Amino acid sequence: AQRVTQPEKLLSVFKGAPVELKCNYSYSGSPELFWYVQYSRQRLQLLLRHISRESIKGFTADLNKGETSFHLKKPFAQEEDSAMYYCALFSGYSTLTFGKGTMLLVSP
């Protein structure tokens, strides 16, 4: 069975500090991995996907198949980055599994 693990419930940093939100997955097939974000009073929305190798709002995430990880990183956190972040895995059977989420708080 597929599983997504986000070990940190809460990550608190100061503005300008680097951020790394951890995500590990368990899946026997070829994973499709995503990061979703939920800002206060907004809908859950896609932040980035591994296949695109993109940087969104300064965030990047690299798929490491050897370590089965897909950590989200940003070199300099901003206050507006404060939100709930979810790592997600999409399987070939159309199931979309989320981790428990990490709340990122960026203080001034």
- Residues near other proteins (CB under 8 A): 6, 9, 32, 34, 36, 43-46, 49-52, 86, 88, 90, 94-101
Taking the complex as a whole, the smallest distance from the CB of residue 21 to other proteins amounts, in Å, to: 13
Q: Using CB atoms within 10 A of its CB, is residue 2 exposed (0-12), middle (13-18) or buried (19+)? A: middle
CB nearer to other proteins: give 58 or 100.
100
Residue nearer to other proteins on the CB measure, 15 or 22: 22
Alpha carbon distances (Å) from 12 to 17, 40, 49, 65: 10, 16, 24, 28
- 62: nearest Cα among 75, 76, 48: 48
Using the 8-state DSSP alphabet, how is residue 64 labeled? B
State the nearest-atom distance from the C-beta of 90 to other proteins, in Å. Answer: 7
Least distance to other proteins, CB of residue 52, Å:
7
